[in-house]
Structure 1
Amino acid sequence: MNETRPKSLTRGGRREGAGRKPGLGPWGEKTIPVRIPLSQKQNVLAFLHRQKTQPAASLPAEAWFPAIEPVRLSVPLFSNRIAAGFPSPADDYIENRLDLNQLLIRNPAATFFLKVKGHSMKNAGIFDGDTIVVDRSIDIRHHHIVVAAVDGELTVKRLSMEQGKTRLVAENPEFPDIELKEGQELVIWGVVTNVIHPVK
């Protein structure tokens, strides 16, 4: 009986044209592997999603960001609320310690800070010279205070979305609201979560 031997099959080695093509991922560019804490996975994914879905533009030049690995700084947290009148001896008891990074920043990867210029939001407790904490990972909703750019002009206002109209509302009657008109470009950079201002 005549036997026909199959042609030898080669395995392994690099095949021309095989593998993922560079630039074919969702970002259209090369990627690198990065180790992140498991607890921060969803935060990082949410940040990347917002980076991809927002209009292509850079953050304002005056924005700055939290430290990547901030040193833990704990200060005393007293158990009693402080009175504006005479002090109470009970206030000497320290209940806990507080880290301001944890208090002010919910999502470091999606947070930036801005200095406020102007008085249009004073009735919301935001004053000229204050530092605001802005979180880009929060889903934007009606009545949020937001950092927005209208036709490239940066502003801090309360977002109103009612009856099919979008407005940026000032919290000071001396300043007009901004009602978005057809053809205007609105980029919302994030939601204001905290305000830092000095006591004068």
Structure 2
Amino acid sequence: MFSFIARQETGPALLLPLALMRFRAGFPSPAEDHIDRSLDLNEFILHPAATFYGRLDGDSMEPIMHDGDLLVIDRAIEARPGHVVIAIHAGDFTVKRLRQSGNRWLLAPENPAYPVLECNDETEIWGVVLISLHWPSP
């Protein structure tokens, strides 16, 4: 399942500090000493007129995506095997990884509790997920 969020066509750039370093999951690091530049999230948007935001609803893509994650979707990118896509399958939106097995195209969940869906003539790849932003629930 998937829900849409309106995207502003234009607006001020969202500039965030960018640390060009890796962050260890062990001992703390003084990351502020390593701030290189500001990062504008618009740098990731190649096709503004074809880019949408949406929230993930459900757990079929765990552990790589979680319920409530904000997804940035580009409808102008041609989907290839391995891409996470937004697809219309059996009349509903779904978020899955696009796979190819011989001549068959599949929509595969990351969570093994869900079935792999075989694409048919009515399946439409609606867009490719560029970014998934996750933050823990309050």
- TM-score of the two chains, using structure 2 as the length reference: 0.84
Larger Rg: 1
Task: Give the share of equivalent positions with the same residue, in percent.
Answer: 41
Larger relative contact order (CA 8 Å, sep ≥ 6): 2
CA shift, 1:180, in A, is 3.1
Residue pairs, 1:103-182, within 5 angstroms = 104-123=44-63, 125-181=64-120
Moved over 6 A (4+): none
CA shift, 1:97, in A, is 1.0
Residue 79 of structure 1 contacts residue 91 of structure 1 at CA under 8 Å; is this kept in 2? no
Answer yes or no: is 1:199 the counterpart of 2:136: yes
Residue 140 of structure 1 contacts residue 191 of structure 1 at CA under 8 Å; is this kept in 2? yes
CA shift, 1:164, in A, is 1.2
Segments of 5+ residues of structure 2 without an aligned counterpart are none
Structure with more of its chain in helix, by fraction: 1
Residue pairs, 1:53-72, within 5 angstroms = 62-72=3-13
Segments of 5+ residues of structure 1 without an aligned counterpart are 1-59
Answer yes or no: is 1:76 the counterpart of 2:13: no
**RMSD (Å) for aligned C-alpha atoms:** 2.3
Distance in 2, Cα, partners of 1:137 & 1:176? 28
- TM-score of the two chains, using structure 1 as the length reference: 0.61
Structure with more of its chain in strand, by fraction: 2
Q: Report the count of equivalent residues.
A: 137
